[in-house]
Amino acid sequence: MCPWWYRSAAGLCARCLVIETDGGLVLCDTGLGIEDVAAPLGRLGPVFVGGMRPVLDARATARRQIERLGHSARDVRHVVLTHLDVDHAGGLADFPDAEVHVLAREHADALAQRPRDRIRYRLAHWAHGPRWVLHEPEGEPWNGFTGVRAIAALGPDLLLVPLAGHTFGHAGIAVRSPEGWLLHAGDAYFFRDELSRPPRCPSALTAFQRAVRMDRAAWSHNRSRLRDLAAQGEVRIFCAHDPAELL
């Protein structure tokens, strides 16, 4: 299991996980893709490129890092997504043979292309026709969360955890490792001390999160539940964009 990320000039990262299983590799989020690096304005859009100022280096993409470990893109059999924002799903085209798992609400919102969503969801990222596998937020309780479900093809050690707020179809990804459970919380929060008591976050990051969240009540509720889980100390929680976590 390896964490990867690209860094932006804004000081953030976009973290992905690759998990080695008996049936091939599982990639949790893709980060930006090779085509995004080659044509950033067209694929990512000027708002993202200008605002986030990503470091556009093909060597930092998940595909190139997987290849440096001696694998090929075809070894990635499954991609599991927290959500479909540009910096989480931009690399889907780099893994065209993989099944792509995402909550059904997230998929529907991304494809609807409502005016408010066109900055965050880019049709170019799934123009190649991914092998979508859509999941409903229905399942069992898990560590204070409800509607948690295992992905049938991957067994009981990888779970989709509904974490609406940042988007309506946002999810966390829980992975059982030899050291215990990890929870990739995606964009449910952005800064490590947001899970502390009392929580703390730089004001600019707080303002940004509030500007881009889609469901205020769910966002606040799920952050509170993550804070409770962090206090128990039994699950290692990390978000997508804090480069100091999971080191």
For residue range 61-108, list pLDDT tens digits in order. Answer: 999 999 999 999 999 999 999 999 999 999 999 999 999 999 999 999
> In which domain, by residue range, is 75 found?
2-238
So what's the pLDDT on residue 2?
47
Token look-up 């606040």 returns: 220
Give the helix/strand (H/E) hosting 217.
Answer: helix 216-232
Residue 58 is assigned to a structural domain of this protein: yes
Residue 140, judged by CB atoms within 10 A of its CB (0-12, 13-18, 19+), counts as exposed
Closest CA to 67 of 34, 35, 28: 34
Find the DSSP H helices in the chain: 34-38, 40-44, 46-52, 62-68, 86-89, 104-112, 203-212, 216-232
One-letter amino acid of 174: A
The chain-wide mean pLDDT, for the chain, equals: 93
- Model confidence over 7-65: pLDDT tens digits? 554 578 889 999 999 889 999 999 999 999 999 999 999 999 998 888 899 999 999 99
Query: 114 φ, ψ to 5°?
Result: -65, 150
pTM of the predicted model as reported, rounded to 2 decimal places: 0.94
- Tell me, what CATH number does 183's domain have? 3.60.15.10
Q: What is the mean pLDDT of residues 138-163?
A: 95
Query: 26 φ, ψ to 5°?
Result: -120, 130
Residue 243 is assigned to a structural domain of this protein: no
Q: Please, what is the end-to-end C-alpha distance for the chain in angstroms?
A: 13
- Given a contact cutoff of 8 angstroms between Cβ atoms, the answer to whether 31 and 98 are in contact is no
Measured distance CA(217)–CA(166) in Å, rounded: 10
Query: 119 φ, ψ to 5°?
Result: -75, -40
So what's the pLDDT on residue 43?
96
So what's the pLDDT on residue 116?
87
Task: Please report, for residues 16, 77, 84, 217, 231, the alpha-carbon distance to residue 137 in angstroms, rounded to integers and kept in the order given.
Answer: 22, 22, 16, 17, 25
Residue 230 is assigned to a structural domain of this protein: yes
Closest CA to 156 of 181, 184, 176, 170: 176
Query: Which two tokens mark 172?
Result: 């966390």
Residue 94 is assigned to a structural domain of this protein: yes
Query: How many Cα atoms are found within 13 Å in the side-chain-facing hemisphere of 65?
Result: 21
Residue 15 bridge partners (DSSP): 5
Residue 245 is assigned to a structural domain of this protein: no
- Given a contact cutoff of 8 angstroms between Cβ atoms, the answer to whether 71 and 20 are in contact is no
How many distinct structural domains can be found in the chain?
1
Residue 244 is assigned to a structural domain of this protein: no
State the greatest distance between any 2 C-alpha atoms of the chain, in Å, as a whole number: 45
- Model confidence over 198-238: pLDDT tens digits? 999 999 999 999 999 999 999 999 999 999 999 999 999 99
- Given a contact cutoff of 8 angstroms between Cβ atoms, the answer to whether 135 and 160 are in contact is yes
So what's the pLDDT on residue 131?
98
Closest CA to 30 of 180, 183, 165, 186: 186
